[in-house]
C-alpha cells in the first residue's frame, strides 16, 4: 500500500512538473508569437510607407514634369525640373526599400534614377542661361509618357492596398522565378515608348547582358554567415546594430538586413545573396553635411570596399561629384579589357567617407572569365578613325554589351568636341564602329581617365 502511494505520488509530481513546463511553454510561445506578429506588422508598416511615398513621389514627378514641359518662362522651367529631380531621387530610394526582386526592377530603378540626374542637368543649364534644345524638349515628352504610365500602374496597386493587400505576404508567395509583389510592381517598366539614352553616370551603367546568373557559383550560406560577411565588408558597423529583416526570392535569392544607429533609426538596408553570401545591394538613409573627403580619397575608399566585397581586379572607370556624394563606377579588368557588363556602382558620402550605396546586380549576373582576343587593330590605328573635329582624351580596350545579349571586344575612344564628351567604340578585330555615346554632364561631373 505504501509503495502504491509513493508511485501515485511520483506520477502526481511528474504530471505537476509537466503541467508547469507546459504552462511555461505556452507563455513563451505566446510571447514569441506576439513578438513575431509585432515584428511582421512593423515590417509591413515600413513597406507600406515606402509604397505610399513612392506613389506620392511619382505623382509629384508627373505633375511637375508636365508643368516644366508647358512652362513658357525659363526660370519656372528650371524650378519645376529641379523639383522633378528631387522627387525622382526620392522615388528611387522608395523603390530600393521595397521587397521587390532586384533584377526584375532594375530597369525601373535605373530609369527613375537617370531621370533625376537628367532633369538636374537641364535645370542647371537653364539657371546658367542655356535654353532647352529641341532634342531636350522631345526627350522630356518621351520621359513624361513613361512617368505617366508608371503613375497609372501605381494607382491601380494603390487601390489594392486600400482593399487590404499585404506586401509581405505577396513578396513571399512565389510565382515562377519571382514573387507576386515583384510581378505586380514590375509592370511599371512595361512602357510603350522608347526610353531616351540618358548617359550621365558613365558608359553602360545599367547594362545586364545575361538572363541567368553567371557570377555566383559558391554554395548557399546560412543567414548567420551572410551577416558575418556583411560585417567584414562594412567594417564600421557593430554586430548588435545589424538585424535580419527578411529574405527575398527572384533571380537573386537574398537575406535582407538593416543597420540601425544608437537611437534605433534605420540607416542602411543591405541585401546579401544566399548563394555565396555576397553583397548585392546597399542603400543608406543618412543625411550628409559639408564635404571633407576629396574625390581621390572617395575613389580609393570605393576600390577598397569593392576588394572587401570580393570584386575581381576592380578599376575605377567613372566618377562624379553630385551634391556632397561621390558616385563611382567600378569594373573588373581582364587582360587589359575593362569589363563593362560587370559594372559595380558605389556611392560615397564626401562628408564622412562612408559607403552610402552599392549595386552589383550586373556584376553577379554577368561576371565570368572570358576568352578575350588580342586586338587586330592597334591603339594608334583606331585613333585615325576619329574625325578631326574631336579631341581624343583616352583610348583603352573595353568589353561592351550590345543588343540581343551580346558582348563585343572593342577599343573605347573618349573624345571631346564643343564642350561635350563622347565615347566611340570600334571592334578590336575588324575596326567596325559598334557604338557611340554622348555624355550628358551633371553638376561637377568628371570622367576619370
What would the pLDDT profile of 331-375 be if each residue is shown by its tens digit?
Answer: 999 999 999 989 999 999 999 999 988 988 888 888 888 999 999
Residues 402-418 pLDDT 10s: 766 789 999 999 999 88
Dihedral over alpha carbons 438, 346, 283, 113 (to 10 degrees) = 0
Q: Which residue has the higher pLDDT, 171 or 338?
A: 338
Lowest-pLDDT choice from 136-145, 179-188, 434-443: 179-188
Q: Which residue has the cell 535654353?
A: 131
* Closest residue by Cα to residue 93 from 325, 331, 401: 325
- State the alpha helices, DSSP H only, in 71-195: 74-96, 106-127, 134-162, 167-172, 180-185
Q: Where residue 155 falls among pLDDT bands split at 50, 70, 90?
A: confident
Residues 385-406 pLDDT 10s: 998 889 999 999 999 987 667 8
Q: Where residue 192 falls among pLDDT bands split at 50, 70, 90?
A: very low
Q: Where residue 20 falls among pLDDT bands split at 50, 70, 90?
A: very low
Structure confidence at residue 43 (pLDDT) = 64
Q: Which residue has the higher pLDDT, 45 or 126?
A: 126
Longest alpha-carbon distance in the chain? 116
Lowest-pLDDT choice from 4-18, 106-120, 252-266, 297-311: 4-18
Separation CA 182–CA 204 (nearest Å):
25
3-state secondary structure of 416: strand
* Closest residue by Cα to residue 342 from 365, 318, 374: 365
Our measurement of the distance from residue 121's CA atom to the centroid of its chain's CA atoms, rounded to an integer in Å, reads 21
* Closest residue by Cα to residue 321 from 426, 149, 447: 447
Q: Beta partners for 175?
A: 178
Separation CA 436–CA 259 (nearest Å):
42
* Closest residue by Cα to residue 148 from 62, 51, 54: 62
Separation CA 6–CA 72 (nearest Å):
99
Amino acid at each position: 500500500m505504501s509503495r502504491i502511494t509513493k508511485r501515485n505520488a511520483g506520477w502526481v509530481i511528474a504530471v505537476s512538473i509537466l503541467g508547469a513546463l507546459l504552462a511555461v511553454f505556452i507563455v513563451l510561445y505566446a510571447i514569441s508569437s506576439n513578438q513575431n506578429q509585432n515584428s511582421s506588422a512593423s515590417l509591413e508598416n515600413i513597406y507600406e510607407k515606402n509604397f505610399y511615398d513612392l506613389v506620392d513621389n511619382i505623382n509629384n514627378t508627373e505633375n511637375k514634369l508636365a508643368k516644366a514641359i508647358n512652362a513658357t518662362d525659363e526660370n519656372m522651367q528650371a524650378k519645376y525640373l529641379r523639383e522633378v529631380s528631387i522627387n525622382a531621387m526620392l522615388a528611387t530610394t522608395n523603390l530600393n526599400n521595397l521587397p521587390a526582386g532586384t533584377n526584375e526592377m532594375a530597369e525601373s530603378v535605373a530609369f527613375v534614377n537617370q531621370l533625376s540626374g537628367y532633369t538636374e542637368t537641364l535645370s542647371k543649364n537653364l539657371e546658367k542661361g542655356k535654353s532647352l534644345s529641341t532634342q531636350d524638349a522631345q526627350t522630356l515628352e518621351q520621359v513624361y509618357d513613361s512617368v505617366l504610365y508608371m503613375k497609372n500602374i501605381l494607382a491601380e496597386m494603390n487601390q489594392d492596398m486600400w482593399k487590404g493587400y499585404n506586401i509581405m505576404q505577396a513578396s513571399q508567395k512565389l510565382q515562377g522565378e519571382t514573387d507576386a509583389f515583384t510581378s505586380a510592381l514590375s509592370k511599371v517598366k512595361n512602357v510603350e515608348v522608347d526610353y531616351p539614352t540618358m548617359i550621365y553616370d558613365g558608359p553602360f551603367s545599367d547594362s545586364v547582358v545575361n538572363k541567368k546568373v553567371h557570377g555566383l557559383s559558391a554554395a548557399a550560406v546560412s543567414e548567420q554567415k551572410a551577416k558575418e560577411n556583411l560585417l567584414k565588408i562594412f567594417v564600421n558597423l557593430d554586430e548588435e546594430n545589424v538585424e535580419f529583416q527578411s529574405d527575398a526570392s527572384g533571380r537573386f535569392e537574398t537575406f535582407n538586413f538593416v543597420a540601425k544607429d544608437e537611437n534605433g533609426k534605420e540607416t542602411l538596408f543591405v541585401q546579401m545573396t544566399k548563394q555565396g553570401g555576397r553583397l548585392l545591394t546597399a542603400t543608406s538613409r543618412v543625411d550628409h553635411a559639408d564635404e571633407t573627403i576629396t574625390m581621390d580619397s572617395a575613389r580609393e575608399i570605393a576600390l577598397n570596399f569593392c576588394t572587401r566585397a570580393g570584386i575581381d581586379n576592380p578599376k575605377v572607370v567613372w566618377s562624379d561629384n553630385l551634391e556632397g556624394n561621390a558616385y563611382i563606377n567600378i569594373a573588373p579588368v581582364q587582360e587589359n579589357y575593362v569589363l563593362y557588363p560587370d559594372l559595380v556602382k558605389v556611392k560615397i558620402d564626401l562628408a564622412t567617407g562612408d559607403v552610402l550605396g552599392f549595386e552589383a546586380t550586373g556584376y553577379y549576373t554577368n561576371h565570368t572569365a572570358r576568352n578575350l582576343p588580342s586586338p587586330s587593330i592597334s591603339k594608334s590605328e583606331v585613333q585615325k578613325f576619329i574625325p578631326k573635329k574631336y579631341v581624343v582624351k583616352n583610348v583603352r580596350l573595353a568589353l561592351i554589351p550590345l543588343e540581343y545579349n551580346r558582348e563585343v571586344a572593342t577599343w573605347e575612344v573618349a573624345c571631346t568636341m564643343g564642350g561635350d564628351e563622347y565615347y566611340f567604340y570600334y571592334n578590336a578585330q575588324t575596326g567596325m564602329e559598334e557604338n557611340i555615346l554622348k555624355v550628358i554632364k551633371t553638376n561637377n561631373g568628371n570622367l576619370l581617365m
